[in-house]
Amino acid sequence: MMMGETPDTPEPGTDPAEDAVAAMAIFGRVLLQVDDEHLELDTPCEGWNVEGLISHVVLGDAAVPLLFAGEPLPGTMTIDTAILGPNPVATWRGTALAAIEALRVPGAMEKMVDHPIGPRAGHVVARFRMVDQLAHAWDLATAIGAEVDIPEALADAALDFLYPMMDQLKESQVFAAPIAPPEGSSAAIRFLGLLGRKAWS
Protein backbone atom coordinates (compact mmCIF):
# COMPACT_ATOMS: atom_id res chain seq x y z
CA MET A 1 0.00 0.00 0.00
CA MET A 2 1.45 3.35 -1.03
CA MET A 3 1.55 6.37 1.26
CA GLY A 4 -1.67 8.30 1.21
CA GLU A 5 -3.76 5.24 0.44
CA THR A 6 -6.20 3.82 2.95
CA PRO A 7 -7.11 0.14 3.34
CA ASP A 8 -10.41 -1.00 1.93
CA THR A 9 -13.17 -0.74 4.53
CA PRO A 10 -16.06 -3.17 4.19
CA GLU A 11 -19.57 -1.81 4.21
CA PRO A 12 -21.18 -2.02 7.68
CA GLY A 13 -23.01 -5.29 8.09
CA THR A 14 -20.79 -7.30 5.74
CA ASP A 15 -17.66 -8.12 7.76
CA PRO A 16 -18.32 -9.81 11.11
CA ALA A 17 -14.98 -8.81 12.65
CA GLU A 18 -15.21 -5.17 11.60
CA ASP A 19 -18.87 -4.99 12.59
CA ALA A 20 -17.91 -6.17 16.07
CA VAL A 21 -15.18 -3.53 16.18
CA ALA A 22 -17.68 -0.85 15.12
CA ALA A 23 -20.06 -1.96 17.87
CA MET A 24 -17.25 -1.79 20.43
CA ALA A 25 -16.57 1.78 19.34
CA ILE A 26 -20.24 2.66 19.83
CA PHE A 27 -20.19 1.19 23.33
CA GLY A 28 -16.96 3.03 24.07
CA ARG A 29 -18.39 6.39 23.05
CA VAL A 30 -21.18 5.93 25.58
CA LEU A 31 -18.81 4.63 28.24
CA LEU A 32 -16.71 7.79 27.99
CA GLN A 33 -19.75 9.69 29.29
CA VAL A 34 -20.04 7.58 32.46
CA ASP A 35 -19.03 9.25 35.73
CA ASP A 36 -18.59 7.73 39.16
CA GLU A 37 -22.05 8.89 40.20
CA HIS A 38 -23.57 6.81 37.40
CA LEU A 39 -22.15 3.47 38.53
CA GLU A 40 -25.00 2.54 40.87
CA LEU A 41 -27.78 3.52 38.46
CA ASP A 42 -30.09 0.76 37.27
CA THR A 43 -29.99 -0.21 33.61
CA PRO A 44 -32.70 -1.71 31.37
CA CYS A 45 -30.98 -5.07 31.97
CA GLU A 46 -32.91 -6.36 34.96
CA GLY A 47 -30.69 -6.85 37.98
CA TRP A 48 -27.72 -4.98 36.51
CA ASN A 49 -26.58 -1.53 37.44
CA VAL A 50 -24.18 0.50 35.30
CA GLU A 51 -21.09 -0.91 36.99
CA GLY A 52 -22.28 -4.49 36.56
CA LEU A 53 -23.15 -3.93 32.91
CA ILE A 54 -19.72 -2.48 32.14
CA SER A 55 -18.14 -5.45 33.92
CA HIS A 56 -20.17 -7.83 31.76
CA VAL A 57 -18.97 -6.19 28.55
CA VAL A 58 -15.36 -6.16 29.76
CA LEU A 59 -15.54 -9.86 30.60
CA GLY A 60 -17.07 -10.63 27.23
CA ASP A 61 -14.24 -8.85 25.45
CA ALA A 62 -11.65 -10.51 27.67
CA ALA A 63 -12.98 -13.93 26.63
CA VAL A 64 -12.40 -13.33 22.91
CA PRO A 65 -8.60 -13.76 22.81
CA LEU A 66 -8.88 -16.83 25.04
CA LEU A 67 -11.45 -18.44 22.74
CA PHE A 68 -9.37 -17.89 19.62
CA ALA A 69 -6.22 -19.10 21.38
CA GLY A 70 -8.00 -22.30 22.43
CA GLU A 71 -7.53 -21.51 26.10
CA PRO A 72 -10.20 -22.33 28.71
CA LEU A 73 -12.21 -19.47 30.13
CA PRO A 74 -11.44 -18.91 33.82
CA GLY A 75 -14.08 -19.37 36.47
CA THR A 76 -13.94 -15.63 37.10
CA MET A 77 -15.89 -14.99 33.88
CA THR A 78 -18.90 -14.42 36.13
CA ILE A 79 -19.80 -10.78 36.78
CA ASP A 80 -17.34 -9.23 39.22
CA THR A 81 -17.21 -5.44 39.30
CA ALA A 82 -13.83 -5.58 41.04
CA ILE A 83 -12.24 -6.32 37.66
CA LEU A 84 -12.88 -2.72 36.58
CA GLY A 85 -10.36 -1.35 39.06
CA PRO A 86 -10.10 2.39 39.67
CA ASN A 87 -10.44 3.29 35.97
CA PRO A 88 -13.24 1.40 34.19
CA VAL A 89 -12.57 3.14 30.86
CA ALA A 90 -8.91 2.11 30.87
CA THR A 91 -9.86 -1.45 31.79
CA TRP A 92 -12.45 -1.60 29.02
CA ARG A 93 -10.01 -0.14 26.50
CA GLY A 94 -7.44 -2.82 27.28
CA THR A 95 -9.82 -5.75 26.91
CA ALA A 96 -11.47 -4.23 23.82
CA LEU A 97 -8.14 -3.77 22.06
CA ALA A 98 -7.14 -7.35 22.85
CA ALA A 99 -10.46 -8.60 21.48
CA ILE A 100 -10.06 -6.51 18.32
CA GLU A 101 -6.59 -7.91 17.75
CA ALA A 102 -7.89 -11.47 18.06
CA LEU A 103 -10.83 -10.84 15.74
CA ARG A 104 -8.59 -9.35 13.06
CA VAL A 105 -6.10 -12.21 12.88
CA PRO A 106 -6.21 -13.60 9.31
CA GLY A 107 -8.45 -16.65 9.20
CA ALA A 108 -10.03 -15.96 12.59
CA MET A 109 -13.56 -15.71 11.19
CA GLU A 110 -13.34 -19.22 9.69
CA LYS A 111 -11.61 -20.79 12.69
CA MET A 112 -13.67 -23.13 14.89
CA VAL A 113 -13.50 -22.19 18.56
CA ASP A 114 -14.71 -23.94 21.69
CA HIS A 115 -17.45 -21.51 22.73
CA PRO A 116 -19.34 -22.15 26.01
CA ILE A 117 -22.45 -23.02 23.97
CA GLY A 118 -20.48 -25.43 21.79
CA PRO A 119 -18.05 -25.30 18.86
CA ARG A 120 -18.70 -22.24 16.73
CA ALA A 121 -16.95 -20.52 13.84
CA GLY A 122 -15.12 -17.30 14.60
CA HIS A 123 -17.62 -15.22 12.67
CA VAL A 124 -20.33 -16.38 15.09
CA VAL A 125 -18.22 -15.20 18.03
CA ALA A 126 -17.83 -11.84 16.30
CA ARG A 127 -21.57 -11.55 15.73
CA PHE A 128 -22.27 -12.39 19.38
CA ARG A 129 -19.91 -9.59 20.41
CA MET A 130 -21.58 -7.18 18.01
CA VAL A 131 -25.03 -7.95 19.41
CA ASP A 132 -23.82 -7.69 23.00
CA GLN A 133 -22.06 -4.38 22.44
CA LEU A 134 -24.94 -2.76 20.56
CA ALA A 135 -27.58 -3.83 23.07
CA HIS A 136 -25.53 -2.79 26.06
CA ALA A 137 -24.51 0.50 24.47
CA TRP A 138 -28.22 1.31 24.39
CA ASP A 139 -28.69 0.02 27.95
CA LEU A 140 -25.83 2.16 29.19
CA ALA A 141 -26.97 5.26 27.32
CA THR A 142 -30.52 4.84 28.63
CA ALA A 143 -29.28 4.44 32.21
CA ILE A 144 -27.18 7.61 32.18
CA GLY A 145 -29.50 9.71 30.00
CA ALA A 146 -27.19 9.83 27.00
CA GLU A 147 -27.88 9.31 23.31
CA VAL A 148 -26.60 6.46 21.20
CA ASP A 149 -26.86 5.90 17.47
CA ILE A 150 -27.04 2.31 16.24
CA PRO A 151 -26.33 2.33 12.49
CA GLU A 152 -29.04 0.66 10.44
CA ALA A 153 -26.53 -1.58 8.66
CA LEU A 154 -25.28 -2.99 11.96
CA ALA A 155 -28.83 -3.42 13.25
CA ASP A 156 -29.76 -5.26 10.04
CA ALA A 157 -26.75 -7.53 10.43
CA ALA A 158 -27.75 -8.22 14.04
CA LEU A 159 -31.32 -9.05 13.02
CA ASP A 160 -30.13 -11.39 10.26
CA PHE A 161 -27.91 -13.13 12.79
CA LEU A 162 -30.50 -13.41 15.56
CA TYR A 163 -33.68 -14.39 13.71
CA PRO A 164 -32.62 -17.99 12.91
CA MET A 165 -31.81 -18.68 16.56
CA MET A 166 -34.74 -17.02 18.28
CA ASP A 167 -36.12 -20.27 19.71
CA GLN A 168 -32.77 -21.10 21.30
CA LEU A 169 -32.38 -17.57 22.64
CA LYS A 170 -35.81 -17.69 24.28
CA GLU A 171 -34.94 -20.98 25.94
CA SER A 172 -31.58 -19.69 27.14
CA GLN A 173 -33.19 -16.66 28.83
CA VAL A 174 -30.07 -14.67 27.95
CA PHE A 175 -32.27 -11.82 26.74
CA ALA A 176 -35.64 -10.51 27.82
CA ALA A 177 -38.74 -11.60 25.93
CA PRO A 178 -39.13 -9.82 22.57
CA ILE A 179 -41.35 -6.75 22.39
CA ALA A 180 -43.14 -5.97 19.12
CA PRO A 181 -42.13 -2.48 17.94
CA PRO A 182 -44.46 -0.09 16.11
CA GLU A 183 -45.06 -0.80 12.43
CA GLY A 184 -42.46 0.78 10.19
CA SER A 185 -39.82 0.98 12.92
CA SER A 186 -36.16 1.28 11.99
CA ALA A 187 -33.87 -1.73 12.03
CA ALA A 188 -32.30 -0.42 15.25
CA ILE A 189 -35.67 -0.23 17.01
CA ARG A 190 -36.61 -3.70 15.75
CA PHE A 191 -33.27 -5.09 16.91
CA LEU A 192 -33.71 -3.66 20.40
CA GLY A 193 -37.31 -4.85 20.55
CA LEU A 194 -36.20 -8.34 19.61
CA LEU A 195 -34.00 -8.30 22.72
CA GLY A 196 -36.81 -7.08 24.95
CA ARG A 197 -35.91 -3.40 24.96
CA LYS A 198 -38.60 -0.80 24.37
CA ALA A 199 -36.61 1.87 22.53
CA TRP A 200 -39.60 3.93 21.45
CA SER A 201 -42.00 6.33 23.17
Query: What is the pLDDT at residue 42?
Result: 95
The one-letter amino acid code at 176 reads: A
- Structure pTM? 0.89
DSSP 3-state of 11: coil
Percent of the chain with pLDDT over 70: 89
Q: How many CA atoms lie within 13 A of 181 on its CB side?
A: 18
Mean pLDDT estimate for the chain: 88
Choose the weakest-confidence range: 16-20, 93-97, 163-167, 193-197.
Answer: 163-167
Query: What is the pLDDT at residue 1?
Result: 27
169-178 long-range contacts (CB < 8 A, ≥24 apart) are 175/135, 176/46
| 74 pLDDT above the threshold of 80 | no
Q: Distance (Å, rounded) from C-alpha 198 to C-alpha 109? A: 32
Residue 77's pLDDT band, with cuts at 50, 70 and 90, is low
Question: What structural domains does the chain harbor?
Answer: 16-151 (1.20.120.450)
Q: Distance (Å, rounded) from C-alpha 30 to C-alpha 8? A: 27
Query: What is the pLDDT at residue 201?
Result: 78
